[in-house]
Structure 1
Amino acid sequence: MGKQRSTATHLDPSFASDNVAGISPSIITALARVNEAPAAPYGGDAASAALEEWAQQEFGSQAEIYPVFNGTGANVVALQAMLPRWGAAICSAGAHLNNDEGAAPERLGSIKLLPRAAPQGKLDVSDIEAELGAVGFVHAAQPLAVTLTQSTEVGTLYSLEELAAVSAAAHHHGMGVHIDGARFANAAVALGVGLGELAAHSGADVVSLGGTKNGALAAEAVVVVNPDRVAGLGFIRKYSMQLASKQRFISSQLLELFSTELWHRNAEHANAQAAKLAQRLQDLEGVRVAAMPSVNAVFPEVPAEMAARIQSSYLVHTWDTAPSGNPVLRLMCSWETTDEQIEDLLSCALPRRA
């Protein structure tokens, strides 16, 4: 894709990522509550027990939930538990797992990835079928899992029907299905379903459930929807350095976020602000937004001089180069993106008056 990542510390980071947002106030309150008294470590606390109950209510009575520190950890732990040592995972070539996790799947998880050049970041049934030639061939890692990103790195969204079709094909050929759900909440809001409904309709066996991008602090989880598809996940979490001694501080955040309407409000706001930003950008001369955002990411094609103006003040990544030669920027909205921030960015995009 030719992504150019800017790292300048003096630039406004407001639209660089949804990771730039702070912590939702009610989550800070939840952290303060569990800080009032001692509690058993390593998940033996009341907040962790309540989180397990919530997961079973949301994802089914067989569901298990394992809090972890970050999304990379969630993905690597999940796939290790799903794959034998000779197994491999089919993914989109543009997936975060393939491009943005510092080779953690390979180096720490010993996971072979099988990237597919998926249009719009979405795998389809043909991608599953294309890897079947390796099945039973001793010289090739065996395709035994499929990992889907919902929503994708390019801001697109699998429909429920698309997810179901890919999962059905994977299961038919004996593969497990994992979803990288760093923005699972944004996807659920966009599709008008609950978290459990999205998992159920998708056919996912395991979901990496993201909390950090939606208002939490270093709080993610591996949700096992189908325990028959994993082995030793608790042990893997420990040796992968993702087991928190004071787990109550992760569990309480996830509980506050997901057992209330907070996840929905935060994701809904982020999605709505992205739609607003895209519409306002499209009104500017020379700007083209190929597709209105499905979730909280906007990818506008802008004139080079406009990109230069924006990037002189804002930490904004150049994501691609359009056929016109103009840069395509990536702009992310978050649960706390304001109308004022959007207007400030638009003002920066316009030529300065003499």
Structure 2
Amino acid sequence: MGSYTPNPSRSFMSDNIAGASPEIVQAIVAAATEHVPPYGNDTITKAARQKLQEILEREVDVFPVSSGTAANCIGLASLVKPWGSILCHPDSHINNDECGAPEAFTGGAKLVALPGKDTKLDPDTLRAAVRRKVHDVHSVQPSVVSISQATESGSVYTLDELRELCSIAKDAGVRVHMDGARFANALVHLDASPAEMT
């Protein structure tokens, strides 16, 4: 097996493999000199919460974590019971690149991969999946739909596609999780506001 050598001018591998910009390093150093309360009660987390509420045009909470995998897993764990299923695309990051972490963090919830063209979930396939074996005590229960926006292959759900998938989930009492690793890219592509996409 060969080793991977990223080309910095074209690598979209992950933000956690690159060094931090000088502005970020300076902000971290400045924050590290302060005495602040824990558990999100510090001024930086409060400011981040306020800024995200303005951007998303709704009430949100902020939980800083070390990586996208941590964000996905903690978010999913808050949405699904151990006997639930997380419906996702086969090529989604949670299904392909998080090495069992979603299952571990959720206490055993099962990832159920649903096929779809262009790395997107298909509405008809999702509609059938959210109805599959509902209330069957011998089967995992459809609990969460996880959508990657933009997808791992670079395709982007339109706002109408997102609305349709969310409507299918809502009608079935299934929650929606969005892997937003490429959220900003999708916003630019769609020329949409964050509030429109969430």
TM-score norm. by structure 1 comes to 0.51
Q: Distance in 2 between matches of 1:27 and 1:37?
A: 16
Distance 1:30 1:196, change over 3 A: farther
Identity fraction in percent? 34
Q: Distance in 2 between matches of 1:6 and 1:174?
A: 46
Alignment check: 8 A CA contact 1:87 1:144 kept? yes
Distance 1:6 1:159, change over 3 A: farther
Distance 1:100 1:191, change over 3 A: same
Q: Distance in 2 between matches of 1:188 and 1:24?
A: 23
Please state whether the residue corresponding to 1:82 is helix, strand or coil. Answer: coil
Instruction: Give the deviation of 1:12 after TM superposition.
Output: 5.0
Q: Distance in 2 between matches of 1:159 and 1:39?
A: 42
Instruction: Give the deviation of 1:13 after TM superposition.
Output: 4.0
Match of 2:155 in 1: 156
Please state whether the residue corresponding to 1:32 is helix, strand or coil. Answer: helix
Match of 1:129 in 2: 127
Residue 8 of structure 2 corresponds to residue 7 of structure 1: no
Residue 58 of structure 2 corresponds to residue 64 of structure 1: no
Instruction: Give the deviation of 1:63 after TM superposition.
Output: 1.8
Residue 68 of structure 2 corresponds to residue 83 of structure 1: no
Q: Distance in 1 between matches of 2:178 and 2:55?
A: 16
Please state whether the residue corresponding to 1:67 is helix, strand or coil. Answer: coil
Consecutive unaligned residues in structure 2, runs of 5 or more: none
Residue 142 of structure 2 corresponds to residue 180 of structure 1: no
Instruction: Give the deviation of 1:53 after TM superposition.
Output: 1.5
Q: Distance in 1 between matches of 2:28 and 2:184?
A: 21
Distance 1:29 1:196, change over 3 A: farther
TM-score norm. by structure 2 comes to 0.88
Alignment check: 8 A CA contact 2:77 2:105 kept? no
Instruction: Give the deviation of 1:188 after TM superposition.
Output: 1.0
Please state whether the residue corresponding to 2:88 is helix, strand or coil. Answer: strand
Match of 1:54 in 2: 51
Q: Distance in 1 between matches of 2:78 and 2:90?
A: 22
Q: Distance in 1 between matches of 2:6 and 2:102?
A: 32
Mapping 1:210-229, distance limit 5 Å: none
Amino acid aligned to 1:117: P
- Which fold has the larger relative contact order, with Cα–Cα distance below 8 Å and residues 6 or more apart in sequence? 1
Match of 1:288 in 2: none
Residue 189 of structure 2 corresponds to residue 190 of structure 1: yes
Mapping 1:1-354, distance limit 5 Å: 6-8=2-4, 11-14=5-8, 15-16=10-11, 17-19=13-15, 20-109=17-106, 110-131=108-129, 132-199=131-198
* Superposed CA RMSD: 1.9
Instruction: Give the deviation of 1:100 after TM superposition.
Output: 0.6
Q: Distance in 2 between matches of 1:35 and 1:149?
A: 33
Structure 1 residue ranges, 4+ long, deviating more than 6 angstroms after superposition: none
Alignment check: 8 A CA contact 1:124 1:162 kept? no
Q: Distance in 2 between matches of 1:172 and 1:142?
A: 15
The structure whose residues are more often strand, as a share, is 1
Amino acid aligned to 1:73: A
Consecutive unaligned residues in structure 1, runs of 5 or more: 200-354
